[in-house]
Amino acid sequence: MGKERRLNILHLYPEQMNLYGDRGNVLALSQRARWREIPSAIVTREVGEPIDWDMVDLVFMGGGEDTHQSLIAADFVEMAPELVARLQDGMPMLAICGAFQLLGRSYQAADGRELPGIGFLDAYTKAGTKRAIGDVVVQTTLDIKPRTLVGFENHGGRTYLGAATQRLGVVQLGQGNNGVDQSEGAVQDHVIGTYLHGSLLPKNPHLADLLLSWALAYRGFDDLLEPLPSHEEMAAHQVVLARRRN
């Protein structure tokens, strides 16, 4: 008999970094695992707390207001060597909005102050003059079906990717990374950064399952993730798709 599948999900800074239902992403991951009889534990880590990285199979970090980003930025940079080593080894991570920005090299807040990022992504973020707010539809570069991702953005920062980091997709609705080059989000190794709040994963179950399959592979379980019926989740996905300009 093989090893029993199980997963440990690390939710980083849930107190400061949790906007517009971001926590729902963690719930979606653990519920979709549970439906497949894969038990999962959700571990949280706030500023200054210790973490046993060998126990972590998947990392989630949500968005935050500038003030909250400034409260966690130094701690995030301090833990970066341990985190980055694992990300480069294939540990999956989903980073939304303010977290996505801090995975890059730097984040300029609305008041002009610059926060350091951890530099995992070849990206930087500058303050914009007007907030980007509204529904978003993305045609993704990821090999998932359908190829669309839907969500809601609300950010002041404009993110620019360098050549070493691939975009998550192209916006069909909304502003995305910077409102200029049509790019949305970033993908590097098994790390996904995106501006999509929502929560994102409940209405993008195909993305949730990709992250779960990466986490299982990282833990050494290579068997395929069993398909699940996702009619309600995809109905929610369709509602946002229908808002695309024709």
Q: Which residues are catalytic?
A: 97, 197
Task: Give least dist CB 66 to ligand GLN, A.
Answer: 5
Asked if 149 touches ligand GLN (CB under 6 A), the answer is no
Q: Among all residues, whose Cβ is closest to ligand GLN?
A: 63
Q: Which stretch binds ligand GLN (CB under 6 A): 4-12, 84-92, 153-161, 185-193?
A: 153-161
Task: Give least dist CB 148 to ligand GLN, A.
Answer: 21
Instruction: Collapse the DSSP code of 65 into the 3-class scheme (helix H, G, I; strand E, B; otherwise coil) and give the result.
Output: coil
Task: Select 29 or 61, whichever has its Cβ closest to ligand GLN.
Answer: 61
Instruction: Collapse the DSSP code of 235 into the 3-class scheme (helix H, G, I; strand E, B; otherwise coil) and give the result.
Output: helix
- For ligand GLN, the binding residue among 98, 174, 176, 193 (CB under 6 A) is 98
Q: How many residues bind ligand GLN (CB under 6 A)?
A: 12
Asked if 176 touches ligand GLN (CB under 6 A), the answer is no
Q: How far apart are CA 135 and CA 170, in angstroms?
A: 14
Token pair recorded at residue 225: 């993730």
Where in 60-89 is the site for ligand GLN (CB under 6 A)?
Answer: 63-66, 69
Asked if 157 touches ligand GLN (CB under 6 A), the answer is yes
- For ligand GLN, the binding residue among 8, 106, 139, 154 (CB under 6 A) is 154
Q: Which stretch binds ligand GLN (CB under 6 A): 36-44, 57-65, 176-184, 215-223?
A: 57-65
Asked if 117 touches ligand GLN (CB under 6 A), the answer is no
Asked if 184 touches ligand GLN (CB under 6 A), the answer is no
Q: How far apart are CA 156 and CA 122, in angstroms?
A: 20
- Interior angle at CA 211, CA 209 and CA 217, nearest 5: 100
Rounded to a whole number, what is the distance in angstroms from the first to the last CA of the chain? 53
Assess contact for 84 and 54: CB atoms under 8 A: no
Beta pairing class for 114-116 and 106-108: antiparallel
Q: What are phi and psi of 147, to 5 degrees?
A: -85, 5
Q: How far apart are CA 51 and CA 49, in angstroms?
A: 7
Q: How far apart are CA 161 and CA 198, in angstroms?
A: 23
Task: Give least dist CB 17 to ligand GLN, A.
Answer: 8
Residues making contact with ligand GLN (CB under 6 A): 19, 63-66, 69, 97-98, 154-157
